[in-house]
Chains A and B, each alone.
Chain A
């Protein structure tokens, strides 16, 4: 038995069955709608956790800036799929484009001069001067444009909007946005010793989010962008579509036939409403699953390719790999960019699913540390483990709250209703969520240090 238990395939099968069973349990006992809603977010979590597994599990890169890449993906979803706000473009579009030109020109001049003046002692002086001039020039063009844009119907838009393209495309663009940022960050930060990368990414993520929170012309800032278009139909549309209603009534014909006319109409309405929300969620599930499977497939293929072996060799012994002529820095940059692109896609998918972009929502606890918990719990270095971790941890994250209430209610059921301790415990039950998360992380690290599904080959750390 214990030998079987150590067989990874069986173990994976067992854990995934338990996970599926838990979701079914939620479906039966709470409702299918909740179960599928949780499943959808589980899939997105699994995608994020795959991205981190690529970076941490394959290459040992300590990225604590996941939040920033997710947010970049999120804004991509808005910029691609949201319809353009014509009035805002009219008053400020030119100014924004102009300031972009100024910004790029300043950077270009700086880079050129930096190279040209390699040996000159005036190098820093000249550069600072140019940056200063560029800064004031930028503000000159930028500020009036922003003011004009933000004054255009501020309660509803007050930003430039997006391009109005299909939202599925935005997932790809989200990945590209994050990849671009990651390339830039990696270029600077990957030369540092590995743990500094952590702190640098932590900081950069904060900077990205604070820009999104404050640059209203781009993202509406904290006023949130709502009504981001969906790739799937709206529930209300379905509820009014005769074809859908017919389909639902056929599906439930036996149940409906037993009722009289009035009751039948009521019941049908209820069934249609339930079915529409499940149908919409299932379409999301389909799309998300496709993305998850694709990324999983690519990750597994990559892991078992010569490239994957090289990457793991670098991770396990950087010095030796480097001595054998492997380009350590280049591989690290590749992986950093790839992993971050995955975060970006997940971020865009999340915004599409929610139908809104909320810059205020990006907090390191939820978008960075929680993903780390997923990978640590699932098993770093093992793709299936990462997916499992995403599922398990997200499930616990949302179900810990009702579980907390229930636990507190049960523990204190001996006390009477007005009891101060009982009230205190029940009123604070929602904090169980973080406590559970912490305990799960600590327990898994202690008693199953390689995660639920350990890495199969390669050196265990």
Chain B
């Protein structure tokens, strides 16, 4: 029994918990992308850089707050610092929309034109973010790091394996859950949310029924930016801020969107978790885990790993390609792009 528990704790600690956290971060980012897709009908390549810029601003605000002595106690101050960052990012995305995307919207350009424009925005933001805060690594976490540390857990339970629960992990999961619920409530129950869904389903019909398209677009941008900043800050709190890794995050986020079903908020969340879990499960070395469950003599040499961790990036895309081939609309049958 202890062996079984040990094995379970081991798996939870190294695969399940990190995957849930990473999955939540991906899900928030993917929600932003998918909402934009649902309403504006293009894949926003600049979302990764939006996350980076939001996080950079949040770091600046946090530093400012810390310098005047504000702190949230056990919680990281960045949770407070991210609020002004969100407001600033609203301004940034709305201005971008005004200067870049609106022109193509009134011209009713093809979605590929929007995508190319977002690549342009991505380039510009990529540079601006580095201008703002440099390309270096920043650690802006404060407050209590652990709720339960691995050593404490071992003491408490007497098990051989430890289970560490980080504050940032819990914040990430809780905040993501709250945001998702709030978002769904907003989309299902409020008038604005309904008009957004109507606009997404059938633009012409929505226009006929008197929905203000500009307002819908504005709100979509604001929600997507909010999600991007929060996802970015949570990610940064968990793993440290570094502009390049936000660019790298863009690809798994896209994969999550498509795997789940484009334009489907629930699909984005599902996709995020599917990616995070497959990555975790496929690159996990099962040696120590199996050691608890079967006699060690039965086990072969080596780490018992499906794929080495170097191929982690590739796994995301293999899932993506398989989904595209087998079920091109995604798990939840999203739109066909």
Contacts and interface: CB of A to CB of B under 8 A. Distances in A.
B111 to A, nearest CB: 7
Nearest to B250: A364
A365 B122 CA distance: 10
B324 A199 contact: yes
B278 to A, nearest CB: 14
A428 B129 CA distance: 11
Contacts of A434: 123-124, 126-127
Interface in B91-129: 100, 103, 110-113, 116-117, 119-128
B68 interface: no
Contact of A431 (B112, B117, B131, B310): B131
B324 to A, nearest CB: 5
B123 A196 contact: no
B337 interface: yes
Report the interface size class on chain A: 35 or more
B318 interface: yes
Contacts of A441: 116-117, 119-120, 123
Contacts of A446: 100, 103
Contact of B310 (A204, A210, A372, A432): A210
Interface string A420-461: 000000001001111101110110011001000000000001
Given A193-B337, A431-B131, A438-B127, A199 B254 contact: yes
Contacts of B186: none
Contacts of B317: 202-204, 206-207
Contacts of A188: 321, 325
A196 B111 contact: no
B127 A445 contact: no
Contacts of A365: 123, 126, 247
Contacts of B103: 446
Nearest to B123: A438
Interface string A193-212: 10110011011101100110
B329 to A, nearest CB: 10
Interface string B159-194: 000000000000000000000000000000000000
Nearest to A208: B314
B219 interface: no
A90 interface: no
A199 B318 CA distance: 11
Given A200-B324, A207-B318, A433 B127 contact: yes
B89 to A, nearest CB: 18
Contacts of A114: none
Interface in A292-346: none
Nearest to B247: A365
A199 B255 CA distance: 8
Contacts of B121: 438, 442
A210 B316 CA distance: 12
A324 B120 CA distance: 38
Contacts of A373: 119-120
B134 A210 contact: no
Interface string A350-367: 000000000000000100
A435 B124 contact: yes
A445 B114 CA distance: 10
A116 B120 CA distance: 50
A21 to B, nearest CB: 26
B119 A206 contact: no
A64 to B, nearest CB: 9
Contacts of B255: 199, 203
A365 B48 CA distance: 13
Contacts of B313: 206, 210
Contacts of B120: 373, 438-439, 441-442, 445
Contacts of A376: 116
Contacts of B314: 206-207, 210-211
A193 B100 contact: no
Given A196-B337, A199-B254, A438-B126, A214 B311 contact: yes
B110 to A, nearest CB: 7
A372 B116 contact: yes
Contacts of A232: none
Interface string A45-63: 0000000000000000010
A210 B127 CA distance: 26
Contact of B337 (A195, A202, A211, A432): A195
A236 interface: no
B337 A428 contact: no
Given A193-B337, A438-B124, A204 B328 contact: no
A426 to B, nearest CB: 11
B186 to A, nearest CB: 28
B324 A369 contact: no
B127 A432 contact: yes
Given A193-B337, A195-B337, A435 B321 contact: no
Interface in B294-337: 308, 310-311, 313-314, 316-318, 320-321, 324-325, 328, 336-337
Given A203-B321, A207-B317, A207-B318, A193 B251 contact: no
8 contacts: A193-B328, A204-B317, A365-B123, A431-B130, A438-B125, A439-B124, A445-B113, A449-B113
Given A211-B314, A441-B119, 15 more contacts: A199-B258, A202-B254, A203-B321, A206-B317, A207-B314, A213-B310, A214-B308, A365-B123, A365-B247, A372-B119, A376-B116, A434-B123, A438-B119, A438-B120, A438-B122
9 smallest CB-CB distances across A and B, nearest first, come from A438-B123, A203-B317, A438-B124, A435-B127, A441-B120, A195-B337, A442-B120, A434-B127, A431-B127
